[in-house]
Amino acid sequence: MLAAAASLALSACSARDTGSSGNANQTSAAEAPKQAADAANPAGDGKAVCSGVTLAYAGTINGGSAALGQNILYGVDLAIKQHNKANPGCQVAFKQFDTEGKPDKAPGVVTQVISEASIIGVVGLPFSGESKATGNLFEQAGLVHITPSATNVHLTENGWKTFFRGMGNDGVQGPAAAKFLTGTLKANKVCVIEDDSEYGSGLAQQVRDALKEKATCSDKVKTAQTDFSAVVNKMVTEKPDAIFYGGYYPEASPLAQQLDDKGVTAKFVGPDGVKDDEFVKGAGAAAAKAYFTCPCVPEDNFKDFTAAYNATEGRAPGTYSPEGYDVATILLKGIDKGIKDRAGLLDFVKNYDGQGLTKKFKWNDKGELSETPVWSYKVENGKIVNNGQIN
């Protein structure tokens, strides 16, 4: 994810429909949560006073999995715009830095972020590999950063005091995915396929561990791979009931399509890195058979948020848009309390305890949340829809 205020005119994600009842192989979809009466509002009371403070988004804006980062970016942008409109005495600047989702590129971008003294809080980075590559830089700078989507378990085991996670990690999602595969989808034989990313391999291992003897085979693919004939042929031979793919949508789309073309009937389950309309577009007819797990909350009933997102950003929210909005709101609440430096905002986040749109936000000393729901989703009529909460 590279630096600078990059153009946002890229592929948009379509709206998610409300949950509907599942097919014969599924339980009925649970209703998505309603907005809590005490959910934090970035507008605050309109009386905030501040000057010279900046928040930043660091993460993918362009690149192979750009849609996942854009979802978050626009959520952050909405929160800041709502805040600034309501608080004429506190205009928070917003800067965007594009890493393209690349772990080798991210350190240079984050170095640029931390060199700008006015930046006192960061939303990002979205992906686990780039988060691993930059955590020490944020730590050395004392700059708080909240990721709405980087799920690798080990990110909070590095002793970083500036890293916070805005959703559950793969230690939560992995067992939930296994529960969904074996419970809801009734799979007794599951093949776990992983890509070569920090995120994909880490999540795949969590799923295998949770599946135990029901993880009957495994395979690996590479980033940017397009021909999956060897993997597909293995699935034809293994005849699993379901396939879990640990990775991102650019590879998941052609993989699912090629499995379908070969007549593989196993149910295809992808995680949050696959849960995007770009997967639906790329997978063709195979998308209709796909399911997803995600530590992200469906925004079906967040009507005001969705309407504002559409009106302000010119597109519908997608995966992790509400989470991006929530964590940006937390940083804004700190600024509204008069905090104007990095140390103060870090301390504010560390001690924060409050309700957001998606969940209650309260972190332990490692930067993990106490509340970590995981939901399932499916494709229905060409759209990704809520399929019920797993955990």
Three-state secondary-structure class, residue 278? helix
Q: Other CB atoms closer than 10 Å to residue 208's CB: what's the count?
A: 19
Q: Which residues contact 182 (CB under 8 A, 6 or more apart)?
A: 188, 190, 211, 214
Q: What is the pLDDT of residue 9?
A: 33
Position 6 scores a pLDDT of 34
Q: How does DSSP classify residue 17?
A: B
pLDDT of residue 63: 85
Q: Which of 3, 209, 216 has the alpha carbon at shortest distance from 99?
A: 3
Measured CA distances, 219 to 193, 282, 318 (Å): 5, 21, 29
Element (H, E) at 232: helix 229-238
Kindly state the greatest CA–CA separation across the chain.
66
- Taken in order 366, 371, 376, 381, the sign of the CA dihedral is negative
pLDDT tens track, the chain, 391 positions: 333 333 333 333 332 232 333 333 333 457 899 999 999 999 999 999 999 999 999 999 998 899 999 999 999 999 999 999 999 999 999 999 999 999 999 999 999 999 999 999 999 999 999 999 999 999 999 999 999 999 999 999 999 999 999 999 999 999 999 999 999 999 999 999 999 999 999 999 999 999 999 999 999 999 999 999 999 999 999 999 999 999 999 999 999 999 999 999 999 999 999 999 999 999 999 999 999 999 999 999 999 999 999 999 999 999 999 999 999 999 999 999 999 999 999 999 999 999 999 999 999 999 999 999 999 999 999 999 999 999 9
Residue 19's pLDDT is what?
Answer: 31
Describe the chain by its helix, strand, coil percentages, rounded to 5: 40, 20, 40
pTM of the model: 0.91
Q: What is the per-residue pLDDT across 193-231, written as a single tens digit (0 to 9) for each?
A: 999 999 999 999 999 999 999 999 999 999 999 999 999
Phi and psi torsions of 246, nearest 5°: -95, 105
